Amino acid sequence: SQKIEQNSEALNIQEGKTATLTCNYTNYSPAYLQWYRQDPGRGPVFLLLIRENEKEKRKERLKVTFDTTLKQSLFHITASQPADSATYLCALAHGATNKLIFGTGTLLAVQP
């Protein structure tokens, strides 16, 4: 069956370190993959999109990689700050319809 998985356990890291979040999928062939940030009680906010033919995309302190062989995307936040604490969602666009499938999200907590 089709599945998209993010680490359900919270990720706790120290301020200044690099946070790495994982998004794995099975039985999909996504045209692209997106990452969103969601704060408690708020709607998700779009961060980055990476296409199937791209290996890496960067935006300021954010970096996303996309490995279609491993069926995995990694989301990195360098020089992390307490303000980066939030839940991060990955979403992949499935097939010809570009229907978005969302993962459950990973809670990131950056300790000062």
Partner 1 sequence: DGGITQSPKYLFRKEGQNVTLSCEQNLNHDAMYWYRQDPGQGLRLIYYSQIVNDFQKGDIAEGYSVSREKKESFPLTVTSAQKNPTAFYLCASSISPEKLFFGSGTQLSVL
Residues making contact with partner 1 (CB under 8 A): 4, 8, 32, 34, 36, 41-46, 49, 89, 91, 93, 98-105
CB of 9 to partner 1, least distance (A): 12
CB of 17 to partner 1, least distance (A): 27
CB of 16 to partner 1, least distance (A): 30
d(CA 23, CA 104): 10
Looking at the Cβ atoms of 17 and 59, the one nearer to partner 1 is 59
SS3 56: strand
Looking at the Cβ atoms of 77 and 93, the one nearer to partner 1 is 93
76 Cβ contact list (under 8 Å, min separation 6):
18, 19, 20, 21, 62, 63, 64, 65
53 Cβ contact list (under 8 Å, min separation 6):
none
Looking at the Cβ atoms of 24 and 78, the one nearer to partner 1 is 24
